[in-house]
Structure 1
């Protein structure tokens, strides 16, 4: 079956290469030299940040196990990370809007470096502090950088359409190419050079430090709400009012939580799904294959967003429907394909079919990220962008904590079925979002100014 893995990887690599090389002027957005310089600087920083994140991912569980901790204790450490992101995420997001997004990005680097340093200690309490710091850093990674980019893009008066170029390239590089290289580099550090499971965390600290130096030397500061008389509680209230008063923002938050919740659940489930009888599967190579599928998705998103039609709100309905169908494969193969009884053997026929379906799901993930970024840039008000984006992560983190706590309580088919239902709901909500964005709005809820359009973001 080994040839199967190489075949899937090779086909995906060929398709990605063909897509990138076959782009015509119609598929590319003409931009200015000033924008290209700005975009490349951001992509460099974002790639370094993602390298620091991807280097750690494959080795967190393994490192904890080498310190002698069991599944229950490791589960508690993971829950602490997501819980920390849930509890402190909105606070750090508000501070980013108030104190500055550049400062928040630097804080991310420092916090994540400190989290990496704690991995040198086998003490449970020290590792718990590291997970809490990691949760805070994750909140900043998925809010502060995007908020800085959108604000700086607008401040420099670049074409709004050009944001799509940066978003799609960031996902293509950060969530695709960098992830693959980081996985291979981590494998070299741990296995080839035998530096131990803590080596990737030290390497991650180096990349984060380099990225922080670039931020400090080349980025300018920008803010959300510049007023000095708003405390954190007022900012929370303003963000909550914006979500409650604008159906577009509420729908966007629900869609994001449903998709990301399914995505994180998939991260936990794909290994037992492909190896129910402890089949010998190449985890690192499969991970690289998934990242290649994600690159394929981001390349498709780049083409889609370079044209005015179809709109993001339109094609994302199809993406959610396809992703829902792809996660039904473990259930279908369980009924249609006779399960293998051989333990520690090669991947089964059902496993091969599931792997293909999971690659389709990862391609949908690659389309999702730049597309949701595009919609967030359109609908979330600038004054509280980081705060609202971290509000969106609260239900996501609650859901992931519940899944982690009950991961052994339900059959794997039930878990995949639940994710598939969530994605169908996301598809329905996306359809609703498109319907209301097609309707012109005549009255703004804050200014009561006649003639406002639906595409304009609300002001808090």
Structure 2
């Protein structure tokens, strides 16, 4: 199996390298503004460290709970704790970030996630559940506070708005790609080669997060969503964000697209381990995770090329294809698990096979394709959000987008012990097809708004010329 994994890894690494070379040859000349370059590099480094703290835990969360003796239903309830926490507390911490500062929110992310890491040392369901609550709060902060800080600081310093897409692409390339690969290898080394146990990656994540927190504390300035934030309460932040979503259908569609895609993605995070080893096949989690993240890095590189030439590649146009292909990729395991009984997927016998069979290998390739599309999705969605989500309520709105996805994932995980894998992957594919439809609607609205704006400008110039 390891030979096959290495072949997959080498293939996606070659794709990533070719995409990066093509991007550099075809993209516009990069800015030589030294202040901006320092600013961008600082953000990318901080984002990479924060994501590394998250990625180190990724390959072994499910495996650690299995190691402690929990069945798939119990593990599902633990995951529910994290997503429910993100759903309940996410909008609250988003509003606090907009009101009191995104730098403070970034430091709170470090505090809550390291607290969650500490709980992994205890083989106790209640303690681990508390840890999942901390992790849920941290996840809400990770996907709202850092992006909000970057957009606000970028605009405050007067940098060219076109440079923002490049920063998003580099952040995803390094944080969601390179650091994730290194984290996967490090986690594999700690657990498999050094035999330090499945809790070792969580200790490593603790150290990396503290390092990132020190860097934020020393180098970041504070920014908030509104100059009058001291006079505005949390309810005002929430109600303003809700009104913005209701008033602008494009913002509502962005929220729907994000919720649908991320709901499928987070369900996939929970399902890929039992999908690849339904009969207890031994999976090298760190190596598989590294293959996934190399694919994600290739996708972010491709996204960087597309975003750098927005005149030729409309984000809304190519994102329709991304959602459609993602739906096809997650439909692959539906066929392989159609007739399997869900109770067979709980067993991890000691005599289990030491490698993936041909069905597992085909699914692994499909999952790598899905991760490549995830790599395209993140910087592209960040770019769209930076254009349409109001600055004053950015973190609040981004966390409101996460409420329906967290609710969906909680419902799925609550029934994970009784619902077959094929049905869950089928739901993910259906959600992604719906996201493709929402992206098409968003595109039509954007074109309509652009045409109306051009007509108004034409009428205005005609009136002034006559006057």
TM-score by length of 2: 0.89
1:325 is displaced (CA, Å) by 1.3
1:221-236 alignment runs, 5 A limit: 221-227=222-228, 228-236=230-238
Alignment check: 8 A CA contact 1:28 1:303 kept: no
Residue 464 of structure 2 corresponds to none
Residue 94 of structure 2 corresponds to 93
In 1, Cα distance between equivalents of 2:354 and 2:108: 47
Alpha-carbon displacement from aligned partner over 1:77-99 (angstroms, at most 9, x marks no partner)? 22111111110000000000000
In 2, Cα distance between equivalents of 1:441 and 1:29: 28
Alignment check: 8 A CA contact 2:173 2:297 kept: yes
In 2, Cα distance between equivalents of 1:153 and 1:385: 14
Q: Does 1:15 align with 2:18?
A: no
Within the candidate set 391, 397, 405, 1:388 is matched to 397
Alignment check: 8 A CA contact 2:81 2:129 kept: yes
Alignment check: 8 A CA contact 2:257 2:439 kept: yes
Residue 454 of structure 1 corresponds to none
1:57 is displaced (CA, Å) by 2.0
1:280 and 1:108, CA in 2 relative to 1: closer, same or farther beyond 3 A? closer
Alpha-carbon displacement from aligned partner over 1:27-78 (angstroms, at most 9, x marks no partner)? 2452122211111000110011011111122233333444454444333222
1:122 and 1:327, CA in 2 relative to 1: closer, same or farther beyond 3 A? closer
Residue 53 of structure 1 corresponds to 54
In 1, Cα distance between equivalents of 2:74 and 2:364: 30
Name the structure where helix makes up a greater proportion of residues: 2
Q: Does 1:311 align with 2:314?
A: yes
In 2, Cα distance between equivalents of 1:442 and 1:312: 18
TM-score by length of 1: 0.90
1:212-227 alignment runs, 5 A limit: 212-227=213-228
1:360 and 1:380, CA in 2 relative to 1: closer, same or farther beyond 3 A? same
Residue 348 of structure 2 corresponds to none
Alpha-carbon displacement from aligned partner over 1:337-389 (angstroms, at most 9, x marks no partner)? xxxx9x73643333332222221111110000000000010110001000000
Residue 462 of structure 2 corresponds to none
1:35 and 1:193, CA in 2 relative to 1: closer, same or farther beyond 3 A? same
In 1, Cα distance between equivalents of 2:452 and 2:224: 27
1:9 is displaced (CA, Å) by 1.6
1:325-344 alignment runs, 5 A limit: 325-332=328-335, 344=353
Alignment check: 8 A CA contact 2:188 2:287 kept: no
Residue 359 of structure 1 corresponds to 368
Residue 381 of structure 2 corresponds to 372
1:345 and 1:112, CA in 2 relative to 1: closer, same or farther beyond 3 A? closer
Stretch moving more, 121-130 or 9-18: 121-130
Q: Does 1:255 align with 2:257?
A: yes
1:315 and 1:140, CA in 2 relative to 1: closer, same or farther beyond 3 A? same
1:238 and 1:85, CA in 2 relative to 1: closer, same or farther beyond 3 A? same
1:357 and 1:70, CA in 2 relative to 1: closer, same or farther beyond 3 A? closer
1:333 is displaced (CA, Å) by 5.1
1:177 is displaced (CA, Å) by 1.1
Alpha-carbon displacement from aligned partner over 1:151-192 (angstroms, at most 9, x marks no partner)? 001111111111111111111111111111112112222333
Gaps in structure 2 of 5+ consecutive residues: 345-351, 459-467
Alpha-carbon displacement from aligned partner over 1:9-36 (angstroms, at most 9, x marks no partner)? 2111112112223434532452122211
In 1, Cα distance between equivalents of 2:421 and 2:263: 16
Residue 465 of structure 2 corresponds to none
Residue 439 of structure 2 corresponds to 430
In 2, Cα distance between equivalents of 1:442 and 1:367: 28
1:129 is displaced (CA, Å) by 2.2
Alpha-carbon displacement from aligned partner over 1:249-279 (angstroms, at most 9, x marks no partner)? 1000000010011111112222332233333
1:249 and 1:403, CA in 2 relative to 1: closer, same or farther beyond 3 A? same
1:413 is displaced (CA, Å) by 1.8
1:383 and 1:4, CA in 2 relative to 1: closer, same or farther beyond 3 A? same
In 2, Cα distance between equivalents of 1:22 and 1:450: 38
In 2, Cα distance between equivalents of 1:328 and 1:72: 23
Alignment check: 8 A CA contact 1:171 1:298 kept: yes
Alignment check: 8 A CA contact 2:59 2:285 kept: no
1:433 is displaced (CA, Å) by 0.5
**Counterpart secondary structure, 1:224:** coil
In 2, Cα distance between equivalents of 1:450 and 1:436: 18
Alignment check: 8 A CA contact 1:52 1:204 kept: yes
1:113 and 1:5, CA in 2 relative to 1: closer, same or farther beyond 3 A? closer
**Counterpart secondary structure, 2:167:** helix
Alignment check: 8 A CA contact 2:260 2:432 kept: yes
1:52-451 alignment runs, 5 A limit: 52-227=53-228, 228-308=230-310, 309-332=312-335, 344=353, 346-440=355-449
1:335 is displaced (CA, Å) by 8.0
CA RMSD of aligned residues (A): 2.4
Gaps in structure 1 of 5+ consecutive residues: 452-460
Number of equivalenced pairs: 442
Stretch moving more, 28-37 or 145-154: 28-37
